[in-house]
Amino acid sequence: MPDLRVLVVEDDPVAAEAHRTYVDRLPGFTCVGVAGTAGRALQVLARGDLDLVLLDMNLPDGHGLDIVRRMRALGNQTDVVAVTSAREVAAVQAAARIGVVQYVLKPFAFETLRDRLTAYARQRRAAALGEVVADQDEVDRLLHPATVSSVPKGLAGGVLDRVVQLLANREGWTAEEVATSLGTSRITARRYLEHLADQGQALRTQRYDGRSGRPKVEYSWVAES
């Protein structure tokens, strides 16, 4: 299959660039554009040459779900993955009703989006090859895909996303502080923080407390604002 062509719809320039970079890091995907408003997104969608939209819900000139409704009314069946901080159950249910294929909460680690899009690509390939389902279990997996985590060995996807949430909600965390918040050891917390820093999603700095002794390493979220 040729690369899947992706449009990123996100009004925050830092987040938009992060999402574009994530897409281009994934084999089989190419980001062909970034739109910062609902109006611009609909203009790009009108060309009809896209496979997937990574869609924020809260845009300066409209709601993401309204974009999807407009698309469907015009006969545009491009798939949509919601990438949003909207956590209301009603929003998740509304997205599912109008055909949003995945719902990814911001902020997230790169691996989270990678796993979701990899599962999506597998479904696209299976459909293109005309594969058939073997039983009800396979139908259930297609309708409710359970992604196989590709988080590095020794790390848990759920814990990684919790660390991301902590970093995004406050400026500057030490490994000790993350460990206390998660209820893990300092060594475990540092492994997750170092992974995010190595991926370019967290920034390492030095924290000086004015007392004697070595400074502590502090981690801050940098992938999105």
Amino acid 210: pLDDT:
67
Lowest-confidence range among 45-49, 127-131, 177-181, 193-197? 127-131
Read off the pLDDT of each residue in 129-155 and give the average, rounded to a whole number.
71
Q: Which of 64-78, 84-98, 115-129 has the highest mean pLDDT?
A: 64-78
Read off the pLDDT of each residue in 170-174 and give the average, rounded to a whole number.
89
Looking at the domain that runs over 4-143, which CATH code has it been given? 3.40.50.2300
Greater pLDDT, 145 or 164: 164
pLDDT range class, residue 52, cuts 50, 70, 90:
very high
| CA separation for the pair 172, 81 (Å, rounded) | 30
Amino acid 225: pLDDT:
42
Q: Are 26 and 116 in contact (CB under 8 A)?
A: no
> Per-residue pLDDT for 148 more than 60?
no
Q: Are 146 and 115 in contact (CB under 8 A)?
A: no
The fold of 157-221 is Arc Repressor Mutant, subunit A (1.10.10)
For the chain, give every residue range classified as CATH 3.40.50.2300: 4-143
Read off the pLDDT of each residue in 34-58 and give the average, rounded to a whole number.
95
Amino acid 214: pLDDT:
78
pLDDT range class, residue 181, cuts 50, 70, 90:
very high
For the chain, give every residue range classified as CATH 1.10.10.10: 157-221
Q: Which residue has the tokens 């409710």?
A: 144
> Per-residue pLDDT for 108 more than 90?
no
Mean pLDDT of the chain: 87
Helix (H, G, I), strand (E, B) or coil at 8: strand
Q: Strand 4-9 vs strand 58-59: parallel, antiparallel, or unpaired? A: unpaired
